[in-house]
Amino acid sequence: MADHWSVGSQMMGETIPKESNFVALDASEKDQWGVPLVHINVDYDENDAKMEQDFIEQYTDMFEKAGFIDIQAQTNTRAPGNDIHEMGGVRMGKDAKTSILNGWNQMHAVPNVFVTDGSCMTSVSTQNPSITFMAMSARAANYAIEQMKKGEL
Ligand SMILES: Cc1cc2nc3c(=O)[nH]c(=O)nc-3n(C[C@H](O)[C@H](O)[C@H](O)COP(=O)(O)OP(=O)(O)OC[C@H]3O[C@@H](n4cnc5c(N)ncnc54)[C@H](O)[C@@H]3O)c2cc1C
């Protein structure tokens, strides 16, 4: 009996940052410590659906041309938050009106607070993100030390 073997593939696609995906503080509701509750509003859009469809079409085409048989394509779209590379919510920017952090991951409003985890980026494109967080943490720590040495922090 011929050996049966299979090959699989999955995609990493970028959800384009958009204003409809946001984190906001509740105007009135607070937790037991009096801290405003957080509203996280995030969803996938038509571009995400098209990207998934394109992946299936491209891979099916490649597998067919490579001589694969019995090609089975499926989608297993998970709700945002149940995936693995979610980002954003405390983004970096030059303007304190439209961003929380400056270019050093330092809060515009609270200079002795630095945010260097996944929330500081609105997207990692299709890359694995953790090593970038580590690099940004080292960079932000260096900057904070320089500022302290100058007595500016
Ligand atoms: C299955 C899986 C596979 C992955 N594979 C890779 C990979 O191969 N390469 C890669 O680069 N990335 C990978 N990632 C993504 C990577 O793990 C995340 O991007 C990264 O961990 C995000 O770092 P973070 O510091 O932003 O958040 P997290 O790592 O989620 O850290 C948040 C921390 O805050 C703590 N916390 C939450 N709420 C509170 C609170 N109220 N008070 C105090 N603490 C709190 C949590 O317990 C947690 O320890 C993978 C993720 C998953 C789920």
Q: How far is the CA of 63 from the centre of ligand 1 (A)?
A: 34
Tokens of 14: 């970028």
Model pLDDT, residue 20: 94
Q: How far is the CA of 82 from the centre of ligand 1 (A)?
A: 12
Residue 110 amino acid letter: V
CA distance 106 to 50: 36
CA distance 56 to 89: 30
Q: List C-alpha distances in Å: 27 to 39, 69, 110, 148.
A: 10, 57, 20, 35
Model pLDDT, residue 1: 58
Residue 129 amino acid letter: P
The phi, psi pair for 141, rounded to 5°, reads -65, -45
The phi, psi pair for 57, rounded to 5°, reads -65, -45
pLDDT in tens, the chain (153 residues): 567 889 999 999 999 999 999 999 998 999 999 999 999 999 999 999 999 999 999 999 999 999 999 999 988 888 998 988 999 999 999 999 999 999 999 999 999 999 999 999 998 888 999 999 999 999 999 999 999 999 999
Residue 33 amino acid letter: W
Model pLDDT, residue 124: 83
118 lines ligand 1 (CB under 6 A): yes
User: Any idea which residue has 């405003």 for tokens?
Assistant: 36
Handedness of CA 113, 118, 123, 128 (dihedral sign): positive
In ligand 1, which atom is closest to the CA atom of 117?
Answer: 26
The phi, psi pair for 64, rounded to 5°, reads -65, -45
**What's the pTM?**
0.87
Residue 92 β-bridge partners: 101
Model pLDDT, residue 4: 82
Model pLDDT, residue 109: 96
Model pLDDT, residue 76: 86
13 lines ligand 1 (CB under 6 A): no
